[in-house]
Amino acid sequence: MFILTLMNRSPRLEAMYKFAFIALLIMVLTACATLPARTQEVTVGTVSPDVQTKADADYHFMVGSLLEQDGDFDAALKEYEQAYRLDSGSAEIALSLAALSLRKGQLDQATRYAQKAAELQPDRTQTLMLLAAIYTGVKKYDDAINLYHRIISIDPKLEDAYIDLGSLLASLKRYDEAVETLRSLEKVNPTSLMSPYYLGRIYMERHMYPEALGEFNRAISLRDDFEPAYTSIGFVYELMDKMPEAIAAYKKSVAINPNNVEIMQHLGQLFIQQNALAEALKQFERIVALDPNNYDAYVKIGLIYSEQKNYEQAATAFRKVSKALPNDLKVKRYLASTLVASDHYEEALKEYQALLAAAPDDLDTILQISYLYAQTGKTEEAVPLLEKALEEQPGKPELYLYLANAYMDGEKYQKAVDTLNQGLRLAPDRDDLLFSLAMAYEKLGKRDEMIASLKKTIELKPDNADALNYLGYVYAEKGEHLDEAIQLIKQALVIKPDNGYILDSLAWAYYQKGMLKEAFEVMQKAIAKTSKDDPVMREHYGDIFLKLSDKDKAREQWLKSLELDPTNQKLRERFKAAGFGNPDDLLKDGKSGKKDKK
């Protein structure tokens, strides 16, 4: 809508400066004209009351103008009001009062002064435009429309009048009249840039997207660096669900105005929606280069890096935001979870403890802290935290699970069993509680209860790959139900085909069944798929080689297993019994087959 812009030196100010100079000159000349001989008394000339009043009004107007330029609007308004009291016939003062009152949101006062200014200068379009804008603001739409028509009749080439009238009519859903108004502008100014632009906006609002695109492109044909048209084209394509075209338009908009942070953020968000994370990252990094305090962009950068599993970079972004906004719990949670993913457990623990201080009953925070205690070898600190939480929130199955796991870490297996059974009475359909119960029973040497718990787990959730693998391996380890064991483990592999530990179980089941070729092939895959070397896998691998009569490789694999787990006394005795020598001496000499580190 129309915004009044005063010149740095308004006509009123120009006149005021001239008047001040002339008044001063009159005073000097009058004084000089009445000067007698040196010995006579000097009589100073005087100014008439009307001239003095006008001078005072001009003075207050000048002071008000300076105060308004400095942003001291309250003081400026008082000066303008004083000027108006001295010279109520000045349209310039009334107009300034109307504009400043409008700026301060004093619509009634703005209306009164604008009407007075229009009364004093009925054909001054600047005044009439302000009054029409005020009428629109106070919802006197018919008065505003009539006034715009009057302005156009006074000055048929005043583009702002057509634009404001067309925009007002469009906001009232009087679209045909709005279009007609803007078409009228084109008749008096065929090169008007704003006419096709606002026509495009009207068509966009009416969901006439091809017509809107046509008008925006017409605006671009008039000026190919007209950024708002490209932005509007992007928005139309978004509404049409044509994201590649929308992105292309927004890119042009940003190319024209590389400082338009708002469009860059929107463009970055579109790239995220399209899963073009590298492109999105570029946009947000450009934003923070322009505005280092744009913390929303830093959050987006952190989330993108997290999605890309670049946790170190993600943590750096989140740290910056968290430092600037220490009370933003969402950002603190982002940072904490990223630190966990990047194995910075101690730092993550501090962040989660801060979150717990802010929200003591937050279940996720409690569980994360208990997990971090376990990861940092402080399981004993997790137990009281979880016991207290369970006492306060007895209806949360997750607390039974985490507390039982904490008990198991502390080798309190019966407590773990009791806790899990309590949780299962509350939530009998929780397969994770049953699975943990099976593990606790195994630690207590209760094999039958363990197998029963695993079977119930699978019954509840047939696609629980860990339970399928666990039960299959339990059977394979004892050399019983081997066909069923192989079937169970294969089911687990359908769900987790690249899991090295499940592959190891299958290889061991094949070994127990005497299918050595299959066992060897699967064990090779198991070793390759496991990122961290595992002593049990190496022992199994050695067993397979021994059955295949490849003693050198069997000896090598067993040595690697003992190197990873020196406490395996049973394997140490088997090693000696196989005639491979004393493994301790061999490991001391570095003959496990492991290459020297350089």
- Position 103 in a domain: yes
- Position 273 in a domain: no
Tell me the three state secondary structure of residue 446: coil
Measure the CA–CA gap between 497 and 494, rounded to whole angstroms. Answer: 5
- Position 529 in a domain: no
Measure the CA–CA gap between 127 and 145, rounded to whole angstroms. Answer: 15
Residues 113 and 97: beta-carbon distance below 8 Å: yes
Measure the CA–CA gap between 498 and 516, rounded to whole angstroms. Answer: 21
Residues 148 and 177: beta-carbon distance below 8 Å: no
Q: Which two tokens stand for residue 414?
A: 């019966």
Q: Which two tokens stand for residue 525?
A: 């895959």
Residues 592 and 579: beta-carbon distance below 8 Å: no
Distance of CA 275 to the CA centre of its chain: 15
What's this model's pTM, rounded to 2 decimal places? 0.73
Q: Which of 267, 262, 303 is nearest to 282 (CA)?
A: 267
| HEC sequence for 486-541 | HHHHHHHHHHCCCCHHHHHHHHHHHHHCCCHHHHHHHHHHHHHHCCCCCHHHHHHH
Residues 463 and 437: beta-carbon distance below 8 Å: no
Residues 482 and 509: beta-carbon distance below 8 Å: yes
Distance of CA 57 to the CA centre of its chain: 54
Angstrom distances, CA of residue 93 to CA of 61, 343, 518, 572: 7, 69, 98, 103
- Position 68 in a domain: yes
Count Cα atoms within 13 angstroms, Cβ side, for 396: 18
Measure the CA–CA gap between 47 and 393, rounded to whole angstroms. Answer: 89
Q: Which of 271, 277, 301 is nearest to 287 (CA)?
A: 301
- Position 371 in a domain: no
Measure the CA–CA gap between 360 and 388, rounded to whole angstroms. Answer: 11
Domain residue limits at 87 = 1-135
| DSSP H helical ranges for 189-274 | 194-205, 209-222, 227-239, 243-256, 261-273
The DSSP call for residue 472 is: H
Residues 200 and 219: beta-carbon distance below 8 Å: yes
Tally the domains of the chain.
1
Burial of 277 (0-12, 13-18, 19+ CB in 10 A): middle
Measure the CA–CA gap between 236 and 253, rounded to whole angstroms. Answer: 14
Counting every residue written for the chain, the total comes to 598
Task: Determine the angle formed by the axes of helices 277-290 and 295-307, rounding to 10 degrees.
Answer: 150
Q: Give the CATH number of the domain where residue 106 resides.
A: 1.25.40.10
- Position 86 in a domain: yes
Handedness of CA 73, 76, 82, 83 (dihedral sign): negative
- Position 490 in a domain: no
Tell me the three state secondary structure of residue 15: helix
What are the pLDDT tens digits along the chain (598 aa)?
Answer: 333 333 333 444 444 433 333 333 223 223 333 333 333 343 445 668 888 999 999 999 999 999 999 999 999 999 999 999 999 999 999 999 999 999 999 999 999 999 999 999 999 999 999 999 999 999 999 999 999 999 999 999 999 999 999 999 999 999 999 999 999 999 999 999 999 999 999 999 999 999 999 999 999 999 999 999 999 999 999 999 999 999 999 999 999 999 999 999 999 999 999 999 999 999 999 999 999 999 999 999 999 999 999 999 999 999 999 999 999 999 999 999 999 999 999 999 999 999 999 999 999 999 999 999 999 999 999 999 999 999 999 999 999 999 999 999 999 999 999 999 999 999 999 999 999 999 999 999 999 999 999 999 999 999 999 999 999 999 999 999 999 999 999 999 999 999 999 999 999 999 999 999 999 999 999 999 998 899 999 999 999 999 999 999 999 999 999 999 999 999 999 999 999 999 988 888 765 544 333 2
